[in-house]
């Protein structure tokens, strides 16, 4: 009769916990019953790979290919034989329709919202939509050029504000300084991401927002210093 400890070790070990297996092995060193069990298990594991079967099957893959080709032809052939139109899976029939309807709904609602927010401004319609892709190499160069000019202007502003920011102990200016550091770090991140994909308009918009925020902050700093 096995002792309770032996049963516990074996039970814990079979749950697959490494520590429990190690504990059982350690216990087996001093327990002949468990040692015998472990040895037999290890022997089975050593013998198992020999059960792997291999045999030559030169005709199997051609057979599978033939069966797959026959399977590919089957639905249309079955339809011809039965004289019925091919049956479609219900899900495949309604899914594109539902997706189309949902898209239409979203587009309609979105259009109403944008029309309201744009007021008198003209919306892009099918007639005035550009035929070219949204951001071509030429337009991108133009955007980058304007961006550079804008950045230069902000840098000028930054140079004006910098001495005051560095030398001031005012709590407000210290806050501005920290905010500007944060904005610079965000600008650095966005620039690094943009280098991966220069045509990413979403990133460009984000970068512009951050630059605008930097501009506002610098203007506030200059205003604060003047006052």
Partner 1 sequence: MKSIAANLLGNVSDAEDAVQESFLKVYRGAASFRGASRLSTWLYRVLLNSCYDLLRRKARHSEPQPAQTSRAVFLAPEEDHPLRLDLEAAVARLAPRRRMAFLLVEVEGFSHREVGEILGVRETNSRVLLHEAKRDLQRLLSAGGAAREARL
Contacts with partner 1 by CB under 8 A lie at 13-16, 37, 40-41, 43-57, 60, 63-64, 67-68, 71-72
CB of 44 to partner 1, least distance (A): 5
The single residue listed with the structure tokens 């399977």 is 71
Question: Strand, helix or coil at 187?
Answer: helix
| C-beta closer to partner 1: residue 62 or 110 | 62
CB of 72 to partner 1, least distance (A): 8
CB of 94 to partner 1, least distance (A): 15
Structure tokens at 143: 């955007």
| C-beta closer to partner 1: residue 15 or 166 | 15
Q: Where do runs of H (alpha helix) occur along the chain? A: 4-14, 18-29, 32-47, 60-82, 90-118, 137-167, 171-196, 201-226
CB of 24 to partner 1, least distance (A): 11
| C-beta closer to partner 1: residue 48 or 171 | 48
CA nearest 186: which of 159, 217, 156, 223?
217
CB of 166 to partner 1, least distance (A): 56
CB of 68 to partner 1, least distance (A): 6
Question: Strand, helix or coil at 86?
Answer: coil
| C-beta closer to partner 1: residue 26 or 67 | 67
d(Cα 129, Cα 110) in Å, to the nearest integer?
18
| C-beta closer to partner 1: residue 29 or 43 | 43
| C-beta closer to partner 1: residue 43 or 144 | 43
CA nearest 147: which of 197, 193, 206?
206
Question: Strand, helix or coil at 53?
Answer: coil
CA nearest 187: which of 170, 201, 173, 206?
206
d(Cα 201, Cα 140) in Å, to the nearest integer?
10
């Amino acid at each position: 009769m096995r002792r309770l400890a032996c049963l516990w070790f074996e039970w814990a070990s079979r749950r697959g916990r490494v520590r429990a297996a190690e504990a059982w092995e350690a216990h087996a060193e001093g327990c002949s019953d468990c040692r015998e069990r472990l040895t037999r298990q290890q022997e089975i594991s050593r013998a198992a790979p020999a059960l792997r079967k291999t045999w030559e099957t030169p005709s199997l893959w051609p057979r599978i290919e033939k069966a797959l080709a026959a399977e590919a032809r089957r639905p249309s052939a079955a339809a011809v034989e039965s004289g019925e139109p091919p049956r479609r899976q219900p899900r495949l029939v309604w899914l594109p329709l539902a997706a189309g309807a949902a898209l239409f709904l979203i587009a309609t609602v979105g259009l109403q919202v944008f029309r309201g927010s744009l007021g008198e401004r003209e919306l892009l319609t099918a007639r005035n939509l550009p035929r070219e892709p949204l951001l071509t190499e030429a337009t991108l160069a133009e955007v980058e050029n304007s961006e550079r000019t804008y950045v230069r202007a902000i840098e000028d502003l930054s140079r004006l504000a910098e001495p005051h920011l560095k030398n001031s102990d005012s709590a407000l200016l210290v806050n501005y300084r920290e905010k500007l550091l944060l904005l610079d770090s965000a600008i650095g991140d966005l620039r690094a991401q943009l280098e991966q994909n220069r045509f990413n308009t979403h990133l460009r918009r984000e970068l512009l927002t951050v630059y605008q925020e930097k501009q506002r902050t610098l203007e506030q700093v200059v205003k604060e210093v003047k006052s």
